């Protein structure tokens, strides 16, 4: 048996053990697309088709045939039903294995974003986990409208993400859009801490302890850190304030169910969401041509986004493994930031993208030691 065929046989055995409900050709095509997306930094299938042959070691097949192979992947109804969940579950399991909650992976960020895919604009509500300044989406739902999400949509996102990732004990960071008595109670009852920004005047009448609301705002505008308590629907929350020159009212007001530490600790936790390296920043700013996708069907878009998340996570996890090698970079306004974790991992893995056998071997050997089973619906 030739060396390549032997390796393929070994990979097939690994795939059957790791993904018992998934055909090997699905895993092969998944890794092929991951290699293509990362190698060429685009998600346009028409552009990717010209490089399939070199990665597979089959340069005789016409590019048109390779293109049909790629489009069939997204036309497969089984993939729409469950493969995207498997890919997302797999990506999150890698994060769980990589993250250490003693040093990171303790914070969540909820945010809304809009992405242009071809001629269609999609609106998503996204939940991400933070680690060492990196924001990685762990679940998202598509909103059928522009504007803010409602309570039921936010609850659905947390519930679905909770099926794949244990959110208890983590702290959710969110802007003033994501507020509401029922929302705060929902998070508290699920064991999720939160630090959510409020607008001036929010729950002013519900202040129950410490200094009165007007005094809190007066102290905060002076640059001091002030706090009091707020009672909503029988639950007591912590309200902390300080100055914020960028805010129209000059204030940063944070409501939280965390009572540990001094006000400065809670304020610094919330500020983590201001300096994060997001997945979509990399994919948009580094030439992944997301707007050239050419797909409009929500099911196909969902599968493609799951592929992008997995590709990003593989690079980030590799970057985290090499975190000690990542340089600290000074910033113009003082302090420092880290060299991109994503780019560090990407550079380390780049040679593997050229050969599907090497890339498959890397994925199966370095990630997911346990079986990952997600039965099709």
Apex CA 233: angle with CA 232 and CA 235, to 5°? 65
Asked, for residue 287, whether it belongs to a domain, the answer is no
As for how many domains the chain has, the answer is 1
pLDDT tens-digit map of 118-158: 566 777 888 988 866 677 777 888 786 666 789 999 999 99
Long-range contacts formed by 359-363: CB under 8 A, 24+ apart: 359/31, 359/34, 359/35, 360/11, 360/27, 360/28, 360/31, 361/7, 361/11, 363/31, 363/314
- Which residues make Cβ contacts (< 8 Å) with residue 78, sequence separation at least 6? 376
pLDDT of residue 57 exceeding 50, the answer is yes
The predicted structure's pLDDT at residue 363? 77
Q: Sort strands 134-143 and 120-131 into parallel, antiparallel or unpaired.
A: antiparallel
Burial 114-150 (b: 16+ CB within 10 A, else e): ebebeeeebbbbbbbbbbbebbbbbbbbebeeeeebe
* Range 105-111 average pLDDT: 86
Asked, for residue 122, whether it belongs to a domain, the answer is yes
Helix 3-18 vs helix 24-40: angle between axes, to the nearest 10 degrees?
Answer: 110
Handedness of CA 281, 286, 292, 293 (dihedral sign): negative
Asked, for residue 235, whether it belongs to a domain, the answer is yes
Tokens 């809009």 map to which residue?
114
pLDDT of residue 333 exceeding 50, the answer is no
Q: Render 192-256 in DSSP notation, one character per residue.
A: -EEEEEE-TTTTGGGEEEES-HHHHHHHHHTT--EEEEEEETTEEEEEEEEE-TTSTTSEEEEEE
Helix 356-366 vs helix 24-40: angle between axes, to the nearest 10 degrees?
Answer: 110
Could you tell me the strand order of the sheet in which 107-117 lies?
207-210, 226-232, 235-243, 251-256, 193-198, 171-174, 107-117, 120-131, 134-143, 277-278
Asked, for residue 184, whether it belongs to a domain, the answer is yes
Asked, for residue 264, whether it belongs to a domain, the answer is yes
* Range 20-47 average pLDDT: 82
* Range 210-216 average pLDDT: 89
The predicted structure's pLDDT at residue 215? 93
Which carries the bigger pLDDT value, residue 37 or residue 257? 257
Asked, for residue 253, whether it belongs to a domain, the answer is yes
The predicted structure's pLDDT at residue 376? 33
Asked, for residue 8, whether it belongs to a domain, the answer is no
Tokens 């199966």 map to which residue?
364
Q: Residue 286, SS3? A: coil
Asked, for residue 37, whether it belongs to a domain, the answer is no
Three-class DSSP labels, 19-33: CCCCCHHHHHHHHHH
The predicted structure's pLDDT at residue 103? 47
> What's the chain's length in residues?
377
CATH code of residue 253: 3.90.350.10
Q: Which tokens in the block code for residue 74?
A: 């997204």
Q: Find the domain containing 136 and state its range.
A: 106-274
Question: What is the chain's mean pLDDT, rounded?
Answer: 79
């Amino acid at each position: 048996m030739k060396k390549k065929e032997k390796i393929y046989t070994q990979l097939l055995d690994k795939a059957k053990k790791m993904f018992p409900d998934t055909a090997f050709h699905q895993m092969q095509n998944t890794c092929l697309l991951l290699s293509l997306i990362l190698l060429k930094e685009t998600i346009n299938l028409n552009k990717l088709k010209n490089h399939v042959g070199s990665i597979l070691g089959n340069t005789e097949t016409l590019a048109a045939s390779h293109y049909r192979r790629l489009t069939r992947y997204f036309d497969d109804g089984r993939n729409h039903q469950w493969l995207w969940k498997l890919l997302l579950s797999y990506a999150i399991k890698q994060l769980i294995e990589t993250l250490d909650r003693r040093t990171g992976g303790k914070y969540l960020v909820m945010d809304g974003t809009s992405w242009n895919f071809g001629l269609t604009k999609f609106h998503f509500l996204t939940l991400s986990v933070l680690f060492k300044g990196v924001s990685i989406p762990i679940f998202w739902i598509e909103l059928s409208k522009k504007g803010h999400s409602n309570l039921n949509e936010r609850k659905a996102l947390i519930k679905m993400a909770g099926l794949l990732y244990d959110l208890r004990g983590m702290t959710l960071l969110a802007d003033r859009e994501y507020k509401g008595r029922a929302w705060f109670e929902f998070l508290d009852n699920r064991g999720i801490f939160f630090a959510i920004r409020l607008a001036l005047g929010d729950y002013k009448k519900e202040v129950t302890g410490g200094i009165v609301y007007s005094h809190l705002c007066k102290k905060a505008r002076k640059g001091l850190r002030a706090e009091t308590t707020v009672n909503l629907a029988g639950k007591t929350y912590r309200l902390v304030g300080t100055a914020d020159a960028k805010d129209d009212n000059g204030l940063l007001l944070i409501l939280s169910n965390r009572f540990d530490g001094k006000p400065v600790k809670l304020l610094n936790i919330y500020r983590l969401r201001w300096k994060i390296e997001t997945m979509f920043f990399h994919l948009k700013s580094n030439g992944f041509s997301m707007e050239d996708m050419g797909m409009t069907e929500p099911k196909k878009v969902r599968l493609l986004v799951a592929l992008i998340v997995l590709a990003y996570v593989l690079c980030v996890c590799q970057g985290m493994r090499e975190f000690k090698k990542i340089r600290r970079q000074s910033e113009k306004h003082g302090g420092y930031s880290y060299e991109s974790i994503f780019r560090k991992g990407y550079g380390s893995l780049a040679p593997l993208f050229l050969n599907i056998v090497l890339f498959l071997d890397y994925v199966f050997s370095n990630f997911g030691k346990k079986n990952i089973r997600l039965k099709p619906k």
